[in-house]
């Protein structure tokens, strides 16, 4: 689960209860999306839960607020890909935003936020108290559900929680893909991600923090640490970041209102 230097979650997830890796590679496939007839993205991803991936990505990019905004969604029968039709006004609104392609720290070339902190979506609700011992127990459940991690050791995971119950767990070779899958699964189940806690097993990068801010989550927690840009974005969004969340001394990057 590391990229470059070994991240703290590697040691954490080497739990004696987790069986040794049995496979020497992890599945990765290209999956494309055409929106209103135009190519918009190709994911390099773990090829499952793809409906959730598409819906979660559209939500995270601001194209939809719920699956009801999708006029039509069709999978390709010959290869891994999807055609999605949306209201052209929705597509035009997103395409008119100031975005540039960058080499992101988390997932290669993406379209990401590069504006000022004034552009970060701000949450309307207050950040609820976080029971960090309970959160460690939820992370333990997330690790226990890691089927692909147990098989390969080369996978990221994400989930949503209210701090006590684990919702919509997903694994993927890309950390952002895993986040999109849990957002998509939540929306498919009629569960709004807003005001929940997003759990991720890798570093919280700036682009992931902005994706979480767009979703309106109350907090993002990781066994690893956030980047400096992620901390700035979270403070602007009034969203809590929790680093080293399974350690005995979690790092809480609090919002201005919570200081």
CA dist 97 and 14 (Å) reads: 42
Phi and psi at residue 219, to the nearest 5°: -155, 155
CA dist 58 and 154 (Å) reads: 26
CA dist 5 and 84 (Å) reads: 38
Structure tokens that stand for 200 in this block: 């991720």
Q: In b/e form, how buried is each residue of 13-47, taking b as 16+ CB within 10 angstroms? A: beeeeeeeeeeeebeeeebebbbeeeebeebebbe
Query: Contact at 8 Å (CB) between 21 and 152?
Result: yes
Rounding to the nearest 10 degrees, give the CA dihedral for residues 1, 248, 218, 131: 140
Active-site entry in 13, 33, 55, 107: 107
CA dist 24 and 242 (Å) reads: 32
CA atoms lying within 13 Å on the CB side of residue 246: 21
Mark whether 76 is an active-site residue: no
CA atoms lying within 13 Å on the CB side of residue 214: 23
Catalytic residues: 107
């Amino acid at each position: 689960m590391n990229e470059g230097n070994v991240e703290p979650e590697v040691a954490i997830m080497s739990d004696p209860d987790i069986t040794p890796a049995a496979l020497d590679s992890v599945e990765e496939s290209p999956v494309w999306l055409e929106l209103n007839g135009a190519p918009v993205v190709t994911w390099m991803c773990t090829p499952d839960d793809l409906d959730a991936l598409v819906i979660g990505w559209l939500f995270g990019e601001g194209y939809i607020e719920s699956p009801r905004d999708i006029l039509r969604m069709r999978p390709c029968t010959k290869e891994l890909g999807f055609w999605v039709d949306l209201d052209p006004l929705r597509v035009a609104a997103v395409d008119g935003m100031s975005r540039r392609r960058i080499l992101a720290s988390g997932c290669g070339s993406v379209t990401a936020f590069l504006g000022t902190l004034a552009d970060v979506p701000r949450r309307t609700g207050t950040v609820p108290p976080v029971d960090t011992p309970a959160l460690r127990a939820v992370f333990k459940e997330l690790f226990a559900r890691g089927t692909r991690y147990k098989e390969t050791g080369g996978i990221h995971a994400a989930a949503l929680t209210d701090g006590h119950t684990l919702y919509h767990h997903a694994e993927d070779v890309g950390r952002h893909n895993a986040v999109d899958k849990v957002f998509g699964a939540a929306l498919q189940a009629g569960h709004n991600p807003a005001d929940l806690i997003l759990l991720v097993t890798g570093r919280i990068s700036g682009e992931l923090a902005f994706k979480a801010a767009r979703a309106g989550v109350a907090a993002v927690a990781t066994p690893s640490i956030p980047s400096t840009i992620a901390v700035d974005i979270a403070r602007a969004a009034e969203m809590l970041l929790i680093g080293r969340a399974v350690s005995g001394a979690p790092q809480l990057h609090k919002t201005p209102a919570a200081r």
